[in-house]
């Protein structure tokens, strides 16, 4: 596949939490394998978060080292692209898969009635990818992963979920284990492609694509967020609404929106629901119209004598 075609491949399928993967090398189905997990785009207020796995036979670890993979954060975009190309060329013994969590998935999950936080979302993405490798027949014996939340708890969770697989959860795993570095490169390349060629579902014309790195403290990201704030809708789905940066901007500059499960304004909500003031009990008895029957109040029907 040409690089351009590959890029299109990423763009077309990124929209709703999708999975991308290489073919499974035959050798991974017959010999014991190691697998690395890493993510890209956890911190930014814009764009998707990408989870990546990379796997190869344990006895080919040295061959992977020779590709000179390193932690994706220490590499330039071009270096990452080249390394991804090399990994793809090593398809005789290296396989990869990616889970792309769209910013809309992140927003709606984190803002769900029963909150689904980013750590849980991350754990589930990682577990889903390991399960995918197992389902494809990869003979998994070792899993290496950078920690999300407390390392021990995460290690226990993964070990219990995948008995028979030795799980190593380690901070900075992406610079310690080449198989994790390889996973981080796949994830970061996918995230870059998705962000650089984002196709807005909204009907926006001539969107300024200068949104910088997407990190909340990047001046370009900041000014982009200022420029594209809509007073009613807030932002396109490209922006993560669950980030405090976004919430602060919307609180300051957008119109207020109340949901029935808002916690912070219970009192105001009560006021809006017409809870009577104590004083009303002392008012002179002018018990107005008789109370509407439940049949009508449940259907929010009122007979109308004034607008």
Partner 1 sequence: MCVFYAVTSCVIVCEEGTQTSTEIRNVFRMSSNASVTTLQLGLVAQADRPPVHFLPCEILQDGPAEVSRYFTSAVKNRKHEMTVSFRGRGLKGQEVSCPHGYTGLVLKEDHKPASDQEDRTVRVSSVFHHFTYWNLETPPTSDDGVVMAMAWPELAEAIHGSVDD
Binding residues for a divalent metal cation: 38-39, 146
CA pair distance 116, 96, nearest whole angstrom: 27
Q: Does residue 128 sit in helix, strand or coil? A: helix
Binding residue for partner 1, selected from 131, 156, 226, 257, defined by CB under 8 A: 257
CA pair distance 58, 16, nearest whole angstrom: 33
CA pair distance 118, 121, nearest whole angstrom: 5
Site string for partner 1, 84-123 (x = CB under 8 A): --------------------x--xx-xxxx----------
Return the range that interacts with partner 1 (CB under 8 A); candidates 61-69, 141-149, 195-203, 216-224: 195-203
Q: How far is the CB of 299 from partner 1 (least distance, A)?
A: 4
Binding residue for partner 1, selected from 32, 73, 258, 275, defined by CB under 8 A: 258
CA pair distance 219, 276, nearest whole angstrom: 49
Q: Does 236 bind partner 1 (CB under 8 A)?
A: yes
What is the Cα 118 distance to its own chain's centre?
Answer: 7
DSSP string, 147-170: -SS-HHHHHHHHHHHSTTSEEEE-
Q: Does 250 bind partner 1 (CB under 8 A)?
A: yes
Total number of residues that touch partner 1 (CB under 8 A): 42
Return the range that interacts with partner 1 (CB under 8 A); candidates 38-46, 61-69, 118-126, 251-259: 251-259
Q: Are 169 and 154 contacting, i.e. CB atoms less than 8 angstroms apart?
A: yes
Encoding tokens for residue 13? 């399928």
Binding site for partner 1 (CB under 8 A): 16, 104, 107-108, 110-113, 201-204, 230-234, 236-237, 240-242, 246, 250, 255-261, 272, 298-307
């Amino acid at each position: 596949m040409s690089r351009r075609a590959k890029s299109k491949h990423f763009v077309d399928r990124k929209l709703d939490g999708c999975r991308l993967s290489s073919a499974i090398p035959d050798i991974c189905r017959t010999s014991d394998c190691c697998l690395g997990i890493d993510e890209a785009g956890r911190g930014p207020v814009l764009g998707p978060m990408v989870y990546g796995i990379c796997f190869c036979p344990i006895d080919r670890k040295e061959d992977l080292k020779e590709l000179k993979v390193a932690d994706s954060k220490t590499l330039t975009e071009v270096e990452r692209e080249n390394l991804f190309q090399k990994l793809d060329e090593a398809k005789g013994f290296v396989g990869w898969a990616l889970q792309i969590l769209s910013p809309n998935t992140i927003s709606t999950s984190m803002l769900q009635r029963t909150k689904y936080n980013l750590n849980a979302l991350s754990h589930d993405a990682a577990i889903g990818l390991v399960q995918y490798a197992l389902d494809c027949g990869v003979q998994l014996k070792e899993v290496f992963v950078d920690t999300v939340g407390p390392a021990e708890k995460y290690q226990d969770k993964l070990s219990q979920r995948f008995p028979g697989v030795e799980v190593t959860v380690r901070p900075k795993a992406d610079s310690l284990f080449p198989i994790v570095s390889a996973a981080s490169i796949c994830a970061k390349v996918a995230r870059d492609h998705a962000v650089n060629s984002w196709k807005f579902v909204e009907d926006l014309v001539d969107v300024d694509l200068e949104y910088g790195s997407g990190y909340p403290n990047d001046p370009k990201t900041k000014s982009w967020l200022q420029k594209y704030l809509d007073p009613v809708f807030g932002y396109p789905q490209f922006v993560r609404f669950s980030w405090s940066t976004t919430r602060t901007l919307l609180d300051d500059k957008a119109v207020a929106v109340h949901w029935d499960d808002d916690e912070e304004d219970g009192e105001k909500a009560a006021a809006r629901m017409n809870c009577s003031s104590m004083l009303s009990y002392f008012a002179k008895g002018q018990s107005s119209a008789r109370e509407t029957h439940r049949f009508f109040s449940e259907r929010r029907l009122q007979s109308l004598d004034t607008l």
